[in-house]
Structure 1
Amino acid sequence: MQIILTPSADDAPDLRSPLRPLGLALGFLLMLLLSACTQRPGPEVIYPHPGATVEGARTVTVYVATTREPAEEPIDGFTPEREDEMSYAEFVISIPPGHDPGEIEWPYARKARPDEHFTVLKHTALSRAAFDARVAKAARETGKGIAGVFVHGFNVSFQEGLFRMAQLAADTDVSGVPILFSWPSQARLLDYATDKESATFSRDGLTDVLEQVTALSSVRSVMLFGHSMGGWLTMEALRQLSLEGNRKALRKLNVILAAPDIDEDVFAAQVDVIGPLDPPLLVMVSGDDRALGFSRFIQGNRQRAGQLDITDPEVLEMAERKNVALIDISSVSSRDALNHSRYAALAAIYPELDEDTELGSTGRRPGARFLDAMGRTVDPATASAAQAASAR
């Protein structure tokens, strides 16, 4: 994976400033064109292929908790519609030997080849009690007692969220228990407003799941990862835990937000209610995120938390005062044209990072920093000095 240094202000367009309506309209058109031209995986990709293993393949077991409506076909699949009762499932997924970190090697409909594709080997519907028991057992068997809960973003189908969780688990190589919280996104670009309402609908569900998992005695720590609109949902669930006075659950959480699609003022208010977390809340930002630029455009040009300018003294002061660690990951090369899913590529280098770095938990400090070409974090002043020196 290529990582490049963040460009200087003289060389790069100021994408953090309010963008012109025409430019954002063109950006939205680009999003529509990309959506129309890209063939997305249908629900048939989760059909199981029992025993379809090959030498060199790895298997990942993903546990699912979802507020989606169960599908009649495929069995154990889920639709974009809302369901009042939480559903639980377990999926065993094979990762191909030649897997490219940061990518998902999608199968062709039901014709998955485990030597080339992510392949579902087995999936099982679970009761709440069975979900708790299996997660608890898996946490004990890892020896570390770590679980990871992934909350996907806007415009994501069930199968896309499932396979992304499997990719993240495989690439980060963290000895944890992968859990997908899947909320009923319509998986359509023009359904932004509907997705926001579905995320709101799912707040209590995510709160319940976090209470469930953190209450398990074998789970000592939970990495809670929210992307895009899933970041907003994550913060709302944390807010609810705080309002309930459940500091016991909050103390077990290591919270990371990637490109959070949250109004900056709403984000600040959420942080105030949640209170300080240990380790500090980590927020990955990128000023050139086109998807967040579109979100900003349709919401009154309100700055998004995932686009915060860490060179702004007011942003730095806010982060330090509110015990938030902001990391600008614009240096990570993006594999999507919208620069909205850098976190997936970042997972590929996660095993190379020490736990005591800013992206780990033990070395995380409040404030704002850039991710440099070596995967290290540097403060804005140091980055500016290095850029000035290289320009001479």
Structure 2
Amino acid sequence: MFRLKVFPNMQGSWADFRAPLLRLLHEVVFGLQLLAVGVSLSACASRPGPEILEPVQAHVDGAQIVTVYTATTRAREAPGVTRFTGERARQTNYATFDISLPPGRQPGKIDWPRNRPDPSRTVAVVDQQGLDEREFLARLSASARSTQGEVSLFVHGYNQNFQQALFRLAQMVGDSQQETSSILFAWPSQATVAGYVADRDAVIYSRDYLVEMLAALARDRNVSKINLFAHSMGGLLTVEALRQLRLTGQDRVLDRLQVVLAAPDIDADVFRAQMNVVGPMEMPLIVLVSPDDRALLVSQRLAGQHERVGALDVNDPRVEEAARQANVAFIDISSLDTLDPLNHNRYALVASIYAQLEETGDLNAGQPLRQAGAFVFKSIGSTISSPFVLVGKALAGD
């Protein structure tokens, strides 16, 4: 009779070895999952290099031009250039980019060039300029005056180089079809899967710089509304900045902010402690979650199974109760199409969804969410039905 010997000198019954074998199998499976995530995140043939920032002198009918102001704690490749590395700068660096989005593109999608950018088919930089702080704030103030005072600031997530974050913001601005002055706050991510710990350190390093940026915007008389949108690990940076503002008595700045955290990679207990300091904000802090976010599930496993805020289940009564106490609105966006195999980038479609809402005249379109709690974002095909549905009695009657 053939026998498979797992351990040559194994003594005892199967029951004695079942638990350790299952643990070993679990670790092997998790290791394979982590490897798969790493491959998915890093094996991007389309990950753009800094050469994509070189301006292309071309005009294409139907292309959309988006201006992005950038404030970054990344170091410049060389003095005076507008290429930025993953190293940490000793001061905030500033620049502005005019980006062309090709005609006929799909919402949420970035058409990366394989070689030289072609504005008729791919994204392309058509103009750029390095700025000092005074020039940056002056231009931004003039831009805000032309957009009725609305400014939007985007904080990118883990494993992102400067170019990826820049064009992602341009894509969202183009999809939203909103008149707003757009700012990228780019912190020094290593842009590698193995740089997770280094990225978390870079987030903490950049906290005070983001606080200074928000305070400067709040002082500008031409700025009446500040939309602060953060993704993934950028959410940790953002909430740390909110906490810093409260601890330093800058309540006036906090009252000007509408904050949205998309798939925030924050330990749930850490978030609870942060919000205990921040306290209720003038407008509820909005958190976009997806329980099937595989990237956050891996992050949770690396963190000893501590839940990540971006993967919380809005159907959990504890989540709804905590949301009401902290004046936070958790919104499940799992019904949106996924843009990546990890289900981590659904947030990029939210801008186009709001554009659709305005076109259909939905009562909720363009209105800030002023109710804390747990919600579900429901989408049916290309139309939106009851975009914010309160989990509980309202959901039961839906």
Worse overlay, 269-278 or 237-246: 269-278
Q: Does 1:243 pair with 2:247?
A: yes
Q: Secondary structure at the match of 2:193?
A: coil
Alignment match, 2:142: 137
Amino acid in the other structure paired with 2:36 = L
Bigger RCO (CA 8 Å, 6+ sep)? 1
1:107 to 98, 101, 113: 113
C-alpha contact (below 8 Å) 1:324/1:367 kept by paired residues: yes
Q: Does 1:288 pair with 2:295?
A: no
Amino acid in the other structure paired with 1:377 = F
C-alpha contact (below 8 Å) 2:80/2:130 kept by paired residues: no
Q: Does 1:34 pair with 2:40?
A: yes
Q: Does 1:47 pair with 2:54?
A: yes
- Measure, in 2, the Cα distance between the counterparts of 1:21 and 1:299: 14
Q: CA deviation at 1:230?
A: 0.0
Q: Does 1:117 pair with 2:122?
A: yes
Amino acid in the other structure paired with 1:296 = Q
Alignment match, 1:213: 217
Worse overlay, 356-365 or 224-233: 356-365
Q: Kindly tell me the number of residue pairs found equivalent between the two proteins.
A: 365
Cα 1:334/1:222, change in 2 over 3 Å: same
Q: Does 1:265 pair with 2:265?
A: no
TM-score normalized with structure 2 length:
0.88
Structure 1 gaps, min length 5: 1-19, 388-392
Worse overlay, 53-62 or 344-353: 344-353
Alignment match, 1:13: none
Q: CA deviation at 1:48?
A: 0.8
- Measure, in 1, the Cα distance between the counterparts of 2:363 and 2:347: 16
Q: Does 1:64 pair with 2:70?
A: yes
Amino acid in the other structure paired with 1:378 = V
C-alpha contact (below 8 Å) 1:250/1:277 kept by paired residues: yes
Q: CA deviation at 1:72?
A: 2.7
Q: CA deviation at 1:33?
A: 2.2
C-alpha contact (below 8 Å) 1:44/1:74 kept by paired residues: no
Q: CA deviation at 1:24?
A: 3.7
How much is the aligned-residue C-alpha RMSD, in angstroms? 2.0
Q: CA deviation at 1:53?
A: 1.4
Q: CA deviation at 1:65?
A: 0.3
- Measure, in 2, the Cα distance between the counterparts of 1:73 and 1:119: 23
Answer with 1 or 2: which has the greater Rg: 2
C-alpha contact (below 8 Å) 1:21/1:297 kept by paired residues: no
C-alpha contact (below 8 Å) 1:357/1:363 kept by paired residues: no
Amino acid in the other structure paired with 2:64 = R
Cα 1:358/1:287, change in 2 over 3 Å: farther
Q: CA deviation at 1:359?
A: 8.0
- Measure, in 2, the Cα distance between the counterparts of 1:89 and 1:249: 24
Q: CA deviation at 1:381?
A: 3.3
Cα 1:358/1:341, change in 2 over 3 Å: farther
Amino acid in the other structure paired with 2:48 = P
1:231 to 215, 219, 235: 235
- Measure, in 1, the Cα distance between the counterparts of 2:179 and 2:366: 14
- Measure, in 2, the Cα distance between the counterparts of 1:360 and 1:315: 26
Q: Secondary structure at the match of 1:191?
A: helix
- Measure, in 1, the Cα distance between the counterparts of 2:326 and 2:363: 20
- Measure, in 2, the Cα distance between the counterparts of 1:265 and 1:86: 31
Alignment match, 1:128: 133
